[in-house]
Amino acid sequence: MTKNRALNQGLQLLLAAEGLQLLLGLANLVGLTQLFFSGFLSLGCMAMTLAGLYTLRSVDGSYQLAFHFSIANVVVVFAGSIAASILGVMITLEILPVLVLLLSCIAQILVCLVVRFCCRATCGQLMERRADGLAAQGEQAALLYIIVTAVAVFSYVLSLLPTPAGVMRFVTILANVLLLTAMGMYVKFLFLSMKTLAVE
């Protein structure tokens, strides 16, 4: 497979996965998650992300790293599901939320790393095409994901502490708004990058 074809197919898969994930995030925000079969579609998003990064892994070393982090994220997500369903009857109720939140933090960090290395690799390809302005948008999207991850981890920690309901609600809303904004920026960046780079 040629480099351009790999970029074309890989970025298409990443765009489809992230676009669907953004729709699921919006559905969750307005309470329509059940209508979108969120669990099944989330698995589909992870599969498309893995397929896209597998296709891109030979294009740039950062795509290869993103692929490895994405595999790790799938493992952590499934570990969290097992912890919630199976270990719930084996460990105390006080420990279970801590374990689930710890895995959630790890998953959030892994997603951030996937986005960071995807953006780095794509920005490198864009700069070879002298698309520096679009590359800057990718760096902004990656930076916002880092901020989102920090806020999300902070909200997880707060949920374990005796935090006033108003403060917890504010932090949760802030995390959700930042996440959807970051996802929107990332989807836009992937779409424009695909148009710029995916030339047969």
As averages over each run of 10 residues, the pLDDT of the chain (200 residues) reads: 84 94 81 63 89 93 95 87 63 68 89 96 92 93 93 85 82 87 94 81
> Of 172, 195, 176, 194, which Cα lies nearest the Cα of 184?
176
Q: What is the pLDDT of residue 93?
A: 58
Separation of first and last alpha carbons in the chain: 11
3-state SS of the chain: helix, strand, coil percent to 5?
85, 0, 15
In the structure, how many helices (H) and strands (E) does the chain have? 6, 0
Nearest to 14 by CA among 60, 61, 47: 47
> What's the pLDDT score for residue 12?
94
pTM above 0.75, yes or no: yes
Rounded distance, CA 18 to CA 183, Å? 7
Q: What angle do CA 111, 168, 183 make, to 5 degrees?
A: 30
pLDDT at 87: 59
pLDDT at 157: 83
DSSP 61-109: HHHHHHHHHHHHHHHHHHHHHHHHHTGGGTS-TTHHHHHHHHHHHHHHH
**Residue 120: per-residue pLDDT:** 95
Q: Rounded CA gap, 76 and 152, in Å? A: 17
Residue 133's pLDDT is: 93
Contact predicate 197/7, CB 8 Å: yes
